[in-house]
Amino acid sequence: MTHFGATILDATGERLSPQEKRFFAEADPFGFILFARNIASADQVRALCADMRDAVGRNAPITIDQEGGRVQRLRAPLWRNWPAPLPHVAAAGRNAAEAMYLRYRLIAHELHELGIDSNCAPLVDVAGAQTHDFLRDRCYGTDPARVAELGRAVADGLLDGGVLPVLKHIPGHGRAQSDSHLDLPVVYDVLETLTAWDFAPFKALNDLPMGMTAHLVYAAIDELPATVSPTMMQLIRDQIGFDGLIMTDDISMKALSGSLTDITRASLDAGCDIALLCNATLDERRAVADTAGRLNDVGQARAEAALAARRTPTKVDISALEAKLSAMSGGLTYGR
């Protein structure tokens, strides 16, 4: 069996162009990611997912960012509008773990019906007073053990709905005081603090099939951003114990400097398995795919293990789940 391409890539519009079909057939990316520009209707999304899988000739994973709040690609009126996670956790109170399970079981139902079988969640970055606004309400709380518990509930809800979770942002983005989409955050806390606080939820969830890196510098450990740092990637594998498939966060984010091909090479050399590239031109996608090449033997084994974690959704009464979640959500709405 030929190894998959060491990339996750996106599409320009609502259907693949002939040029994109040819490119994907050649590059054979491990998987794909969807954005709002790729979404118009349920039938159209299903057709696009079919286009993507047809292009590579296999049941490639298709992921999306469907957290809720500001970060959700599927929105009303066709799909539910979800509140941001942090206020939803607060509203649910002592029922938060069950509420998060139900929330992401319902999200998984929406995704799976469209042919989307992965979601970039749970996000187990631990929030604090310093957490930048771009991230804070996307977090689940301020206590590492509680965040890990809620992250497990999110992952279980997705898996039971036939959707692979992507654990992010390894090894922890909560202390960032700037937005890594725009700048490179630097964290100065000592290793002991990071280990006990930021890294702890990721260690608790280190059995999940896929994870996504954080684009920030942990100055006590290395001067390079985690995504391109061999030292940090070794810490993720050894100290945190995560042996699943690791993808970069989007390599086009401004936190990382250099050309897209340089970043691709640096991230894979550091120990990432997959380069995730979003919002790029076809030429940029082609250059990154050429640079990334194919997964190595270890990466291919991780990719195959991740795909083997896909499940047939458990049978549930969606209306009953909605009613139960509504009853424990403190008046927050998530309707269409």
Catalytic residues: 181, 249
Q: Residue 122, preceding bond cis, omega within 30 degrees?
A: yes
Please report the sign of the dihedral spanned by the C-alpha atoms of residue 290, residue 292, residue 298, residue 299.
Answer: negative
Q: d(Cα 311, Cα 163) in Å, to the nearest integer?
A: 7
- Phi then psi dihedrals of residue 245, to 5 deg: -75, 125
Q: d(Cα 66, Cα 82) in Å, to the nearest integer?
A: 9
Q: Which two tokens stand for residue 150?
A: 């809620």
Residue 256 belongs to what H/E stretch? none
Chain centroid to Cα 95, Å, comes to 25
172 phi-psi bin (left φ>0, alpha ψ -120 to 50, beta other)? left
Q: Which two tokens stand for residue 16?
A: 């693949």
Q: d(Cα 93, Cα 79) in Å, to the nearest integer?
A: 25
Q: d(Cα 1, Cα 314) in Å, to the nearest integer?
A: 31
Q: d(Cα 45, Cα 48) in Å, to the nearest integer?
A: 5
DSSP string, 230-250: HHHHHHHHHTS---SEEEPSP
